[in-house]
Amino acid sequence: MEPFKIKVVETIPQTSRRERRQILEEAGYNLFAIPADRVTIDLLTDSGTAAMSDRQWAGIMLGDESYAGSKNYYHFEETVREIFGYKYVIPTHQGRVAENLLFSVLVKKGTAVPNNIHFDTTRANVEFNDGLALDCVIDAGLDPNADLPFKGNMDLKKLEGVIRQTGASNIPLCLMTITNNSGGGQPVSMENIRKTRKLLDQYGIPLYFDACRFAENSFFIKERETDYRERSILSIAREIFSYGDGCTMSAKKDGLVNMGGFLCTNDRELSQSITNLLILHEGFPTYGGLAGRDLEAMAVGLREVLDENYLSFRIRQVQSLGDMLHKRGVPILRPTGGHAIYVNAGAFLPHIPREAFPAQALACAFYEEGGVRGVEIGSLMFGGNDKTTGEAKHPELEMVRLAVPRRVYTTRHMQYVAETIAAVYERRESIQGLEIVYEAPVLRHFTARLRPLEEQNAKVRN
């Protein structure tokens, strides 16, 4: 059951199917363009959408908004040092700024950054600094049906191949994303982290964690890796980070806050260069783009997220949504990851060719059916024409991600989501593909406008 009582409530918007059809049309079949108060269950992201606890709200009242040396900063720093164990702690307003600061100093033309799989902002920040972002996840991590406990693991052979090919001196750092968001929220094992560290040591390459969902990854290690059953989440997290030289963190996930992030490192010189940039872009080092009260809420959230009762509920809630869908025959990526269900839209809608955006069409169908908003991770987000050949390219998988916000929805809400999706599954053959009417030159999925192909065909027929 939910390991919390509800103290404040927010009314859930209800709309009719007719209204939703009109909303979709007005939004150009792009769920990013739908006002949130027209969404019944919002599973667009688990980022910045958590419900804060009474203790976090109490912490907000203790906000010390001094420009320099806010007491909340010291509390935050002490908390991060205790869990993550790194010497230098630099607050930022969200995760991608931590990435930007780190890569601005370390990455340049001719360098490469390996990762299990780069999240899109991470990849974009490496590439923005003219580096090469390389994914080295194990092959099973890309197979939606491979049922393995740690599908986020780094493939050490691939990693060594990259190091040999690029030359160790051109690899300023190796990243590891825990859990591996772009590969389905799949965890990385402690054994794999240890082995990755050992391999990198042979070449003198630092290891940094993309730590957004570190507590969820720690919980999976406790459940699935022998030797860790009796260990506390805190001690598992500390062991993970002991194998690294630092981390970037979006506290909008496992920090249980609506805004916040940070960067850690053990490298004094690096921390100084980053701090100089921080002052230029984010603010003074004891607030880093955040209010003092936000730092306090983050310090409290980082401790709360380590609670095993909370994590057990969290992981089971996502798992039970996955099980309900699997039982009804809905094709999903298995096993379920920590923060989201990934519906395999290619298998759900085999009659829609990839040029007609099956995953986007499916995401729209979930909204039309029950006001459930997920996010397309497929040809709209990652496809397009190859810059050099001009040929249409598509990503490996067509998926709709249903990300579950932390401490926001109840088990009954998850049942409603499963019922909505099962109803769409029953009528899957009636779903039509889409075509683009407008697209921006970069990151087109955020602002694209589309229309149903059926509409176009009807116009031709008339």
> Interface residues with ligand F0G (CB under 6 A)?
45, 47, 94-96, 119, 121-122, 177, 181, 210, 212, 250, 252, 261
Which H or E run includes 152?
none
Identify which of residues 101 and 431 has a Cβ nearer to ligand F0G in the complex: 101
Identify which of residues 208 and 425 has a Cβ nearer to ligand F0G in the complex: 208
Identify which of residues 47 and 196 has a Cβ nearer to ligand F0G in the complex: 47
Identify which of residues 152 and 452 has a Cβ nearer to ligand F0G in the complex: 152
How far is the C-alpha of 93 from the C-alpha of 327, rounded, in Å?
41
How far is the C-alpha of 113 from the C-alpha of 105, rounded, in Å?
13
CB of 25: closest distance to ligand F0G in angstroms?
25
Identify which of residues 294 and 352 has a Cβ nearer to ligand F0G in the complex: 294
CB of 177: closest distance to ligand F0G in angstroms?
5
How far is the C-alpha of 139 from the C-alpha of 120, rounded, in Å?
20
How far is the C-alpha of 12 from the C-alpha of 414, rounded, in Å?
14
How far is the C-alpha of 210 from the C-alpha of 220, rounded, in Å?
17
Identify which of residues 258 and 320 has a Cβ nearer to ligand F0G in the complex: 258
Q: Between vectors from CA 13 to CA 380 and to CA 428, what angle results, nearest 5°?
A: 45
Cα within 13 Å of Cα(456), Cβ side? 11
Identify which of residues 251 and 299 has a Cβ nearer to ligand F0G in the complex: 251
Which H or E run includes 209?
strand 207-210
CB of 149: closest distance to ligand F0G in angstroms?
20
Alpha helices in 254-344 (DSSP H): 268-281, 292-304, 308-327
Is the CB of residue 79 less than 8 Å from the CB of residue 55?
A: no
Chain center to CA of 5: 27
Question: Which of these, 300, 283, 311, 288, lies nearest to 78 by C-alpha position?
Answer: 300
Residue nearest to ligand F0G according to CB distances in the complex? 95
Is the CB of residue 401 less than 8 Å from the CB of residue 340?
A: yes
Identify which of residues 138 and 176 has a Cβ nearer to ligand F0G in the complex: 176
CB of 178: closest distance to ligand F0G in angstroms?
9
CB of 289: closest distance to ligand F0G in angstroms?
11
Is the CB of residue 341 less than 8 Å from the CB of residue 319?
A: no
Token pair for residue 357?
Answer: 């955006």
Q: List the end-to-end C-alpha distance of the chain, in Å, as a whole number.
A: 56
CB of 403: closest distance to ligand F0G in angstroms?
6
CB of 253: closest distance to ligand F0G in angstroms?
7
CB of 122: closest distance to ligand F0G in angstroms?
5
